[in-house]
Amino acid sequence: MKKFVIERNLPGAGNLSPEELQAISQTSCGVIGELGKPYQWVQSFVTEDKIYCIHLAENEEAVREHARLGGFPVNSVSEVITIIDPITAG
């Protein structure tokens, strides 16, 4: 599977309650079960007005289908080509 970064514009995301974040998480997990194909939500980063999600999927279309079924906004989907970190510096 490929790794994708999904940007979701969601004004006020940083003010979502733990219960609201739990409900969003439950919806995402439920939709994954409905997809009927390999798919994994890795994690999401909540900022003031956006949520950035890391998902593993076969292709961008699967990512967009997950969003559609869950009622999640998708402002951009980018495939991760490679990862760098402090170890990359050698």
**Topology of domain 2-89, CATH:** Alpha-Beta Plaits (3.30.70)
Q: 90 or 59, which is more confident?
A: 59
Confidence of residue 90 (pLDDT cuts 50, 70, 90): confident
The predicted-structure confidence for 23-76, as pLDDT tens digits, reads as follows 999 999 999 999 999 999 999 999 999 999 999 999 999 999 999 999 999 999
5 by Cβ neighbours in 10 Å (0-12 / 13-18 / 19+) ranks as middle
Place of tokens 């599977």: 1
Give the tokens for residue 82. 């490679």
Domain ranges of the chain: 2-89
User: Considering only CA atoms, which of 35, 70, 39, 34 is closest in space to residue 55?
Assistant: 39
pLDDT at 19: 97
The predicted-structure confidence for 34-46, as pLDDT tens digits, reads as follows 999 999 999 999 9
